Amino acid sequence: MLNNSSFLGSLSIPTGKYTMIRVQVSAVSVDIAGTNETFTLASHYVFLNHPFTISAHTTTHLTLEFNLSQDLNLNSKIFTPYIGVVIS
């Protein structure tokens, strides 16, 4: 499996307990053998149902894991993400 990490951004959120993250995906384009291919999105939102707590005066890192070999349908050009999350 290829590990291709990218920093997506950072933000400050209030302390507290959270049960879900909603990620908005606006577009998907993939370089396949030197050709840029655009994929249709099954949904523009991905929901991560994974509880976590944000504590005061700390930094919490969320790593979103995409399995592109599963999420990209090369025949129909549809992206259906199933995201795992690692919280540290």
Query: What's residue 9's pLDDT?
Result: 78
> Which residues, including other chains, have CB under 8 Å from residue 51's CB and lie 6 or more apart?
17, 18, 19
pTM score: 0.65
Q: Which residues of the chain have pLDDT under 70?
A: 1-5, 88
Q: Which of 84, 80, 69, 82 is nearest to 39 (CA)?
A: 80
Query: What's residue 2's pLDDT?
Result: 56
Q: Which residues pair with 87 in a beta bridge?
A: 62
> Which residues, including other chains, have CB under 8 Å from residue 54's CB and lie 6 or more apart?
13, 14, 15, 16, 18, 60
Query: What's residue 4's pLDDT?
Result: 66
Query: What's residue 44's pLDDT?
Result: 87
> Which residues, including other chains, have CB under 8 Å from residue 2's CB and lie 6 or more apart?
none
Q: Which residues pair with 23 in a beta bridge?
A: 46
Distance CA 74, CA 50 (A): 29
Query: What's residue 31's pLDDT?
Result: 87
